[in-house]
Structure 1
Amino acid sequence: MQRSHRFRRTLAAVALVAAMVAGTAGWVSADAQTPVTGPPPGSAAWRSEGLIDPAGSTPHQVAAFFRGLSPERRAELVRRHPLVVGNLDGAPVALRYAANRAALAADGRFGRLLAPVRQILAFDPRGRGQVAEVYGDLGRARHVAVIVPGSDIDAGSFDRKNDPYGTPAGMARSLRGETGPDTAVVAWAGYTTPVGVGVDAATGGLAEAGAERLARFADGLDAVGAPDPAVFCHSYGSVVCGLAAARLDAADIVAFGSPGMRADSAAELGTSARVWAAKDPTDWVGRVPNVEVLGVGHGVDPASASFGARRIAADDAVGHTGYFVPGTESLRGFGVVAREAG
């Protein structure tokens, strides 16, 4: 009997992976990703000067540290340690913009992110590169939204012309256009995402590492006085949000195009945030079995009635990346949630 049960569980895991492959036109990656973790690059040199420990300090402690510095000292730290200041949650937003502009110029690979209108809140060159960008005035916004993307997103694919609403930058621009000037939207590609469809996408290792980074990022927003955000979690990004939920300082968590959040219900997420879900009828993720077997799969569909999330209509969205297309009911619903956050 026990052997039969194990066999059924193994078949379920195989079926899950097969469905993911079929839904996305094939197994497109055989390379496992190593998550970027730990404090910002350059932290050893920063600590050698007796400065606040990036790894051991909370974002609120970081904010207090910078409040105690003169403008001249702040500017010096930006000049000497751009990669630390630019990625240090809790540091003043304007300093982070300036530091990341310097870091991007020195790196040289992502020139389009240096356009004068762009406000880069984080740039970590390690691995495939990670980026966060702000649309709007984060210091004055009455409402804040954060976009957490899924697979195949990094500094190189953060913003692209083909499939614009499948990128965090495109989603953020569209949501800002829907919500108006009182809302700031952050496109947060701040974790190592899976590449293609493979073991990384079907398991939770990268999401666990990403959840730590997302929770700290949200604490950093709070530390600089931003309102509690509405966090919009796409595809594998919803796995990140599910694992972060219990410690995520957010007003709302919205899962869309989700394979599961590693929880059986909204209540099991352990969050006081309002939990929402959307899935359009043509999204291939609907063909992924909503199971978690031997660490493979991500559990119950957040858009199912049994999960207990509030529903956002998405019947006129098309495909896995159509939720932020202007004019769709999903984008209108997302806009309502974002304008009520905080």
Structure 2
Amino acid sequence: MAPPRARTPGDARPRRTHPVRRGFLAALVAAAVGLPVAGAARPAEVPAPIPPPTRPLTGGTTAELAARLDARYAVQRAALQAAERTAEAYGAHHRAAALHAMAQPGRRFLAFDGRDGGRSAEVVGDLASADRIAVLVPGVDTGLDHYARFRAGALALQDALHRDTGGGRTAVVAWLGYRPPATGSTASLTPGRAAQAAPALSTAVAELHRIRPGARITLLCHSYGSVVCARAAQGSPAAAIVLYGSPGTGYDTAADLRTRATVWAGRAAGDGVALVPHVRVPLPSLTRAGSELGFGTDPVAPAFGARRFPAGDGGHSAYLAPGSVSLRSLARIVDGREPADA
């Protein structure tokens, strides 16, 4: 039998790469080429008026805090209505409709600013009496135009908390305090947006701690939101930081977050983010979007050092789906209990 012919470099078979992994690697290459000139153009934004100033909230009796919160909610509702009128006049009818829904009586916003894509923080539940507060930090493709999807997750979590805690005093804050990047965009591959967002998240959590100093605060950080939470972790009064559907945090280990909070991580079996390469590629110092591409160590890997929680078999956007394993786990962590089978 003749010996097998030795392959030359020209006829070597290429290694197969999963399509999602190929796409991410291609995006890394494209971003590395495009980043030096990125930032020269910004997408058109729907205009909105400058929001009115708000007074910092402080604690007090439940009745005193409830009155101050009601006053804050009224100011933010007026800001939403003003932004709706501006969007309608501009011809942004979809945005105007979303803002109209957000401004309905009974909705409670701690903060709203319609400029630069929009910022908001909505309360689901009674914050004045809450002894468990969950802060939802969203990831890619979250914004005012599709805000209902984000709020649906907050409502599902509050409902799960209410049922699982026997009607305990809980509140969920849907924090859209930054402009999340779009899926596949250059910004979604770098920590730049997270670095800009982290101070605002830290300020929001500090205010919640100030008005309810005895409450247990949990940060629930989805997708790119986990990069934001990691940047805001140091010194946070949060009792727990939960990373789910995360592409990484930009840190090698949970200890590198320098937080006293318990760091949890989970990923559903059907979440395609598992195929994202966990790399960090340095970028030229002239880029504006961030100093590197990728977010490093997988948060669910043992090397990262986070506590794992059961996340079921849903997809990337299904962690807060009613009745899901992941939602039950998140509700138990917010309540300060061990998730089942953790």
Q: 1:306 to 1:140 in 2, by over 3 A?
A: same
Q: Does 1:106 align with 2:105?
A: no
Alignment RMSD, CA only? 2.8
1:104-129 CA-to-partner distances (Å, cap 9, x unmatched) read 11221210012222111211111111
Q: Does 1:333 align with 2:329?
A: yes
| 3-state SS of paired residue (1:134) | strand
CA distance in 2, matches of 1:92, 1:33: 38
Code of the aligned partner of 2:262:
R
Q: Does 1:300 align with 2:289?
A: no
Which residue number in structure 2 is paired with residue 137 of structure 1? 126
**Aligned CA distance change for structure 1 residues 20 and 314 (closer, same or farther; 3 Å):** farther
3-state SS, counterpart of residue 147 of structure 1: strand
* Alignment match, 1:74: none
Structure-2 separation of matches of 1:188 and 1:296: 25
Instruction: Specify the alignment match of 1:9 in structure 2.
Output: none
Alpha-carbon shift at residue 42 of structure 1 (Å): 5.4
CA distance in 2: counterparts of 1:93 and 1:288, whole angstroms: 42
- Show the counterpart of 1:149: 138
User: Where does structure 1 lack aligned partners over 5 or more consecutive residues?
Assistant: 1-14, 23-29, 47-53, 72-90, 161-166
Matched, 1:177 2:182: no
Using the TM superposition, give the Cα deviation of residue 16 of structure 1 relative to its aligned residue in structure 2, in angstroms.
Answer: 6.9
State percent identity of aligned pairs.
39
1:94 aligns with 2:81: no
Superposed displacement of residue 33, structure 1: 5.9
Moved more, 138-147 or 174-183: 174-183
Instruction: Give the match for residue 319 of structure 1.
Output: 315
- How far apart are the structure 2 equivalents of 1:251 and 1:135? 20
Aligned-residue offset at 1:242: 0.7
Q: Which moved more, 1:221-230 or 1:108-117?
A: 221-230
Tell me if 1:224 matches 2:224: no
> Matches of 2:188 and 2:113 in 1, distance apart?
22
Shift of 1:95: 2.2
- Of 257-266 and 101-110, more deviation after overlay is shown by 101-110
| Residues 252-302 of structure 1, C-alpha deviations (whole Å, 9 max, x = no match) | 100000000111111111000010011012211111011111100011111
In the aligned structure 2, how far is the partner of 1:192 from the partner of 1:16? 25
User: Taking structure 1 as reference, are residues 107 and 20 closer, same or farther at Cα in structure 2, changes over 3 Å only?
Assistant: farther
Q: 1:203 offset after TM fit, Å?
A: 0.3
Task: Determine the C-alpha separation between the residues in 2 that align with 1:328 and 1:159.
Answer: 19
- Alpha-carbon separation, structure 1, partners of 2:181 and 2:250: 16
Matched residue, 1:233: 221
Specify the structure having the higher radius of gyration (Cα). Answer: 2
Q: Indicate the SS of the match to 1:156.
A: helix
TM-score normalised by L of structure 1: 0.72
Q: Take 1:194 and 1:63, find their aligned partners in 2: how far apart are those partners?
A: 30
